[in-house]
């Protein structure tokens, strides 16, 4: 078997691995076609390092853009094979990719104006909504966790990775129940608020993510407590709370946490705004798939919508979103993007970041090169839409809502797989190095592959 690391090598974004039988020149397939984000964005525009039309299939492990975001580019460049994912991943990908295309078309429009002024050639978007629609016109096969299927001469199986709704790890080439290779994709911790716990594969070698390979998180219950304290504190100061949130999973976990606080009588009287059309659409998909929840979340679901508190407003239109800007106190605004590098949250930050009575609560990973990372790293001033904005609001990071597992669970996942070899990916290089050192202490051969490296084994 040969694996080529076309993304997520020494970076947390752009996940994409090609799997092929090194003896054959047909039957190769990709696990993920992820987009590079933050400082690595320019890589998305490079030509693909392979002929897209020669790829037989693309497995999508979950609907985050750093795993599915380059699928339309692949299709645009000639991929016409099969796409394989779980049902929830397909449904969520539809909204994630449409939103991504929209963002890119808008960016190109504003960039185009700048270039025109300088007399430069216009730029083209990476892909358009039509390219996204083309992805969904292709043969898209739905697989369940544990269902075995054949691909490129290998047998392949999904297992629940406990990361986001519908997310999967991939086991490849199983003989007697032990896979040659298991690809973790992104792993979540057990005891998450909504979805079921991750499963453990058995494998000779693993590709393991290392986003948080050097630290552990608090539990969701501790995080709900932290969130409660921030809410009451900001409520008493008479400010607003901004939660930059990823539309998939994090938003629903935050809403679920607010719902639990409300039911316990511990929720201050904030008016909640879910100010993200994408997050609204995805929350609706969550409501369609209670079979993917753990027992506790299913019980809440049976009593009513677990992603809501009384009086909550879902603001789809730009006008409704702008109206929120007039509210000076007791608004709790959940808006994307999660790393503040785009989306409506930038407007809310512009209106609230300079006010010391307000709070900003980060609930997810902030990649290098993003506005979110600057704020988390303690910048005194940031630039938002060309304006210098002082950071005076209280900045909080609550990491127990993270969709990624912490160090101890990542280590446990590798150990329980029984693998003797681990390719450490999907982490900032220093973090991957620390995690690889932990694996070596356990007698595992840990390799941090280079971008575009190919390994036969």
Look-up of token digits 């020149």: 25
Nearer to Zn ion, 91 or 186 (CB): 186
Residues binding Zn ion: number (CB under 5 A): 2
DSSP-derived secondary structure letter, 17: E
**Residue-level length of the chain:** 457
Contacts of residue 390, Cβ cutoff 8 Å, sequence gap at least 6:
353, 354, 380, 381
> Whole-number minimum distance, CB 75 to Zn ion, in Å?
21
> Which one, of 220, 234, 226, lies nearest residue 332 by Cα?
234
> Whole-number minimum distance, CB 283 to Zn ion, in Å?
17
> Whole-number minimum distance, CB 86 to Zn ion, in Å?
14
Give the Å distances, CA to CA, from 64 to 144, 168, 191, 403. Answer: 19, 12, 21, 11
Nearer to Zn ion, 125 or 166 (CB): 166
Which range of residues in 37-45, 186-194, 298-306, 413-421 is near Zn ion by CB under 5 A?
186-194
**Within 10 A of 45 (CB to CB), how many other CB atoms are there?**
11
> Whole-number minimum distance, CB 345 to Zn ion, in Å?
19
The answer to whether 344 touches 275, Cβ cutoff 8 Å, is yes
> Which one, of 425, 376, 374, lies nearest residue 397 by Cα?
376
Nearer to Zn ion, 43 or 316 (CB): 43
The answer to whether 189 contacts Zn ion (rule: CB under 5 A) is no
Which range of residues in 137-145, 179-187, 359-367, 378-386 is near Zn ion by CB under 5 A?
179-187
Q: DSSP states of 163-220 as a string?
A: SSTT-EEEEEEEETTEEEEEE--S---SS-SSBPPPP---EEEEEEE-TTTT-----H
> Whole-number minimum distance, CB 186 to Zn ion, in Å?
4
- Alpha helical stretches, state H, 45-154: 65-68, 71-76, 87-117, 129-137
In DSSP terms, which residues pair with 274 in a beta bridge? 314, 334
The answer to whether 192 contacts Zn ion (rule: CB under 5 A) is no
Touching Zn ion, residues 292-331 (CB under 5 A)? none
The answer to whether 64 contacts Zn ion (rule: CB under 5 A) is yes
The answer to whether 90 contacts Zn ion (rule: CB under 5 A) is no
> Whole-number minimum distance, CB 96 to Zn ion, in Å?
11
> Whole-number minimum distance, CB 67 to Zn ion, in Å?
6
Whether the link from the prior residue into 251 is cis, omega within 30° of 0, is: no
Nearer to Zn ion, 167 or 352 (CB): 167
The answer to whether 186 contacts Zn ion (rule: CB under 5 A) is yes
Which range of residues in 58-66, 68-76, 330-338, 408-416 is near Zn ion by CB under 5 A?
58-66
> Whole-number minimum distance, CB 163 to Zn ion, in Å?
6
> Whole-number minimum distance, CB 298 to Zn ion, in Å?
23
Binding mask of the shown chain, residues 237 to 276, with x at each position contacting Zn ion by CB under 5 A? ----------------------------------------
Nearer to Zn ion, 186 or 438 (CB): 186
Contacts of residue 14, Cβ cutoff 8 Å, sequence gap at least 6:
6, 7, 8, 34, 35, 36, 37, 40, 43, 44, 66, 70
Look-up of token digits 């079921």: 196
Nearer to Zn ion, 61 or 315 (CB): 61
Which range of residues in 183-191, 220-228, 339-347, 390-398 is near Zn ion by CB under 5 A?
183-191
- Return residues touching Zn ion (CB under 5 A): 64, 186
């Amino acid at each position: 078997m040969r694996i080529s690391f076309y993304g997520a090598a020494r970076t947390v974004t752009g996940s994409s691995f090609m799997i092929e039988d090194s003896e054959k020149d047909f039957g190769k397939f990709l696990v993920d076609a992820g987009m590079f984000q933050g400082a690595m964005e320019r890589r998305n525009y490079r030509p693909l390092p392979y002929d897209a039309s020669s790829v037989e299939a693309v497995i999508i492990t979950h609907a985050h853009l750093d795993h599915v975001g380059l699928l339309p580019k692949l299709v645009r460049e000639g991929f016409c094979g099969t796409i394989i994912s779980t049902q929830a991943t397909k449904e969520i990908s539809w909204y994630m990719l449409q939103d991504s295309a929209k963002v890119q078309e808008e960016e190109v429009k504003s960039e185009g104006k700048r270039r025109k002024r300088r007399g430069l050639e216009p730029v083209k978007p990476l892909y358009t909504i039509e390219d996204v629609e083309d992805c969904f016109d292709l043969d898209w096969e739905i697989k369940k966790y544990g269902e075995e299927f054949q691909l490129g001469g290998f047998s392949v199986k999904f297992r629940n990775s406990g990361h986001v709704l519908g997310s999967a790890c991939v086991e490849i080439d199983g003989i007697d129940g032990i896979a040659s290779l298991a690809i973790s994709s992104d792993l979540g911790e057990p005891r998450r608020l909504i979805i079921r716990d991750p499963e453990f594969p058995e494998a000779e070698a693993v590709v393991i993510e290392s986003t948080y390979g050097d630290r552990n998180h608090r539990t969701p219950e501790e995080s709900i407590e932290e969130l409660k304290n921030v809410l009451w504190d900001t409520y008493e100061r008479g400010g607003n709370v901004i939660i930059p949130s990823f539309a998939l999973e994090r938003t629903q976990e935050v809403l679920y946490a607010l719902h639990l606080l409300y039911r316990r009588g511990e929720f201050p009287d904030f008016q909640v705004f879910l100010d993200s059309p994408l997050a609204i659409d995805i929350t609706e998909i969550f409501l369609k798939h209670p079979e993917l929840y753990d027992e506790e979340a299913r019980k809440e679901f049976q009593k009513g919508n677990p992603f809501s508190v009384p009086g909550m407003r879902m603001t789809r239109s730009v006008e409704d979103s702008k109206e929120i800007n007039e509210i000076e106190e007791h608004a709790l605004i959940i808006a994307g993007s999660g790393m503040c590098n785009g989306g409506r949250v930038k407007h809310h930050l512009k209106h609230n970041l300079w006010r010391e009575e307000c709070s900003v609560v980060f609930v997810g990973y902030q990649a290098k090169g993003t506005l979110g990372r600057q704020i988390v790293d303690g910048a005194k001033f940031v630039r938002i839409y060309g304006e210098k904005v002082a950071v005076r609001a209280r900045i909080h990071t609550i990491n127990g809502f993270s969709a990624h597992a912490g160090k101890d669970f990542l280590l446990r996942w590798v150990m329980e797989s029984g693998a003797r070899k681990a390719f450490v990916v999907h982490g900032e290089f220093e973090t991957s190095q620390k995690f690889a050192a932990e694996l070596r202490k356990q007698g595992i051969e840990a390799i941090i592959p280079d971008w575009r490296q190919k390994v036969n084994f």
